[in-house]
Amino acid sequence: MKLRAVTLFVEPNFDPAAAAAFFSAARTAFHLPVQTVRLATTPFPTWWSEREPVISQAQSVAGRWRAAGAEYISLGPVQLDHDSAWLERLPELLAATDVLFASVEIAAGGQVDVERCWRMARVIQEVSQLQANGFGNLYLAALANCPPGSPFFPVAYHGGGPAVFALAVEAADLALAAGQAAGSLTEARRHLVESIETEAARLATAAQALAAAHDIAFGGLDFSLAPYPTAEASLAGAMEALGLPWVGAAGSLFAAAFITEAIGRARFPRCGFSGLMLPVLEDAVLAQRAAEGRLTINDLLSYAAVCGVGLDTIPLPGDVSQATLAGILLDTAALALRLDKPLTARLMPLPGLAVGDEVRFDFPYFANSRVMAAGPGVQGLLSQAVRLTLTPYPLSPRGRGDERPSPA
């Protein structure tokens, strides 16, 4: 188990010296190794200049916070109420440095913007061309129903006001150990809940001391059991340890629900998703199942329906159509709104590669895999420029869900 990140959320005018002091202390404040210290701002369209060149602004922001010790910086989302012209600036922004992350809101406040899904699909295509290997989309995600305060990137952004920090936990190994050591599902769940609570209590105690020392509030832990690309730190491996023949086979949805329900039982100061994190390229077993053709995008969406975090690091054909990407984003938005939960989609078209081609990155946080099939794209009414209301399920106090929905 490790700390994936200590993320500091600030207004853009926060004192870099205070940030530097915090980051320096945060690196050694916990009993677990800290992989990275990060910074997330309020959504950049609220404070960036429309007149100043994108590249100079991006490099200025990156330079300022890198000098303060932040290893990565999230600029937050282009939100639904922001001018869509900001989307056109994203490829240039992401090309300017290798430390800035950004996102695009496609659904929030009970509404999904169909046109925004199509525009985001086009941005994903353009960003995939920034580097020959398609790596640029690591720094970009679509957000559906995601509030501020999650310490994982690219979703992280600040809601405004005083600075706060939160912890992103890399703890898939806890779920794997719980399943391997147990003689029953009940025992496995008890082990997992206890191990989460034990580790979270130690982290929270240290975080509170760090908060008091720097007068920066502690916002909680995102205990999403994030994996690392080795077999012993695989969340997909933890699911298979419960008895699955492979992730993607019948029973996988139950395994996903079982693990996330255990996270929900655990008592700790939570923030962000605190759910099931299944990033294909960051999980060795998941990457292998995708390479074997045993796992589909729709499988991953179904697991997101039982409190996963969405679609993450999905390797797609380099020529995937805008219509196909838009359809995937629409599906993600629909799940988020109907289930009233946060979801993200980080999709990675890989130039020059087709379905089934081998995927290899010279990047220590990615496992080898193969390009996944994406299917045909949407058209007709699903390509119209419209913003719709999708009410959460159930639609009635009785929970039947069979009454007429509210109008859009």
Q: What is the tens place of the pLDDT at every residue in 222-233?
A: 999 999 999 999
Residue 341 CA to residue 256 CA, distance in Å, equals 16
Comparing C-alpha atoms, which of 204, 178, 181 is closest to residue 267?
A: 204
DSSP, collapsed to helix, strand or coil, labels residue 300 as helix
Whether residue 398 is predicted with pLDDT greater than 90 in this model: the reply is: no
Q: What is the mean pLDDT of the chain?
A: 95
Whether residue 40 is predicted with pLDDT greater than 50 in this model: the reply is: yes
Residue 122 CA to residue 87 CA, distance in Å, equals 9
Terminal CA-CA length for the chain = 45
Whether residue 405 is predicted with pLDDT greater than 50 in this model: the reply is: no
Beta-carbon count within 10 A of 350 CB: 22
pLDDT in tens, 50-98: 889 999 999 999 999 999 999 999 999 999 999 999 999 999 999 999 9
- Pair 209, 154: CB distance under 8 Å: no
Confidence of residue 395 (pLDDT cuts 50, 70, 90): low
Give the predicted TM-score (pTM) of the model. 0.95
Tell me the sheet residues that pair with 308.
276
Measured N-to-C along each axis, helices 16-26 and 185-214 cross at an angle, to the nearest 10 degrees, of: 140
Give the helix/strand (H/E) hosting 107: strand 100-108
Give me the mean pLDDT over the 23-34 stretch. Answer: 97
- Pair 261, 178: CB distance under 8 Å: no
Q: pLDDT value at position 258?
A: 97
Residue 192 CA to residue 170 CA, distance in Å, equals 14
Length of the chain: 408
pLDDT in tens, 169-225: 999 999 999 999 999 999 999 999 999 999 999 999 999 999 999 999 999 999 999
Handedness of CA 156, 162, 163, 168 (dihedral sign): negative
pLDDT in tens, 116-166: 999 999 999 999 999 999 999 999 999 999 999 999 999 999 999 999 999
